Amino acid sequence: MTVDPAGTGTDETTYTITKTLHGLVFLLDAGGFPPGQGHSIETLEGLAKLAERYKVNKILVEANFGDGMFAKLLQPHLTARYPVGVEEVKHNVQKERRICDTLEPVIQSHRLVVNADLVRRDFEYCGTAPGCVRPTGRRDRRNDSLRRNTAEGDCATKITPEGGCATIEMAVAYWSKALSVETEKVVQANRDKAMQQELERYLQHAIGRKPTGRLFATTMHRR
């Protein structure tokens, strides 16, 4: 779980919840808490409830807000509801450039899988949320920032807010080692393992003893 905290201004405190499997990153949930309530009891308790709901094993918090104070405020709520480690992440690279450099190769290689229900909720949420209104009066949905975000911080196509992308970038960067594997080979290796186990159970029942060695030829095809 990644969190980009905000203070009492107009930005939202945003979060993203991800998991990884077979070299893919799965975006399960993402959202934000109302502007001006970045360190309120409602926001901190809401994040703790999300951590408990998705059984996260680590929370990454953007440490550039209050020199890590947000993580310290969040910890008591986690201790009371769902004890989990909180790790602060500091950045010294321009946010827009960091987002592009991290997310572009992952999205182009189709390694980021987004929950369809999350996309539907995004359309519904940005139909009424004040934070989705641009100066021109147009309403932007959160997933627009994935398509239009640029490395230039003052670009006219900059989306408000960009925090939704920032937490996704933090999550993808965290899973970078998991992304280094070849998805097809990992999936096939797991299929072969499952097939071996199934054949062992069958022969154990059929002949009364567990066989040894490989029981079938791999189905991996070379391209």
pLDDT one-digit tens code per residue, 27-43: 999 988 888 787 899 99
Per-residue pLDDT tens over the stretch 102-144 = 888 898 888 899 999 988 887 776 655 555 544 444 445 566 6
CA 208 to chain centre: 47
Domain membership of residue 174 as a residue range: 2-180
CATH number of residue 159's parent domain:
3.30.420
Confidence category of residue 161, pLDDT binned at 50, 70, 90: very low
Rounded CA separation 145/116 (Å): 17
Picking from 163, 103, 153, the residue whose alpha carbon sits closest to that of residue 132 is 163
Domain match, 160 and 187 both: no
pTM for this structure? Answer: 0.73
> What distance in Å separates the CA atoms of residue 108 and residue 43, rounded to the nearest whole number?
33
Asked if 126 and 194 sit in the same domain, the reply is no
The DSSP element (H or E) to which 96 belongs, if any, is helix 95-108
CA 81 – CA 45 distance, rounded (Å): 9
Are 108 and 16 part of one and the same domain?
A: yes
Residue 61 shares a structural domain with residue 157: yes
User: 198 and 109 in one domain?
Assistant: no
Q: Please tell me whether residues 145 and 204 are part of one structural domain.
A: no
**Environment class of residue 195 by beta-carbon count within 10 Å: exposed (0-12), middle (13-18) or buried (19+)?**
middle
Q: How many domains does the chain have?
A: 2
- Pair (222, 126) in one structural domain: no
List pLDDT tens digits, range 205-218.
888 877 777 766 55
User: C-alpha angle 63/89/27, rounded to 5°?
Assistant: 110
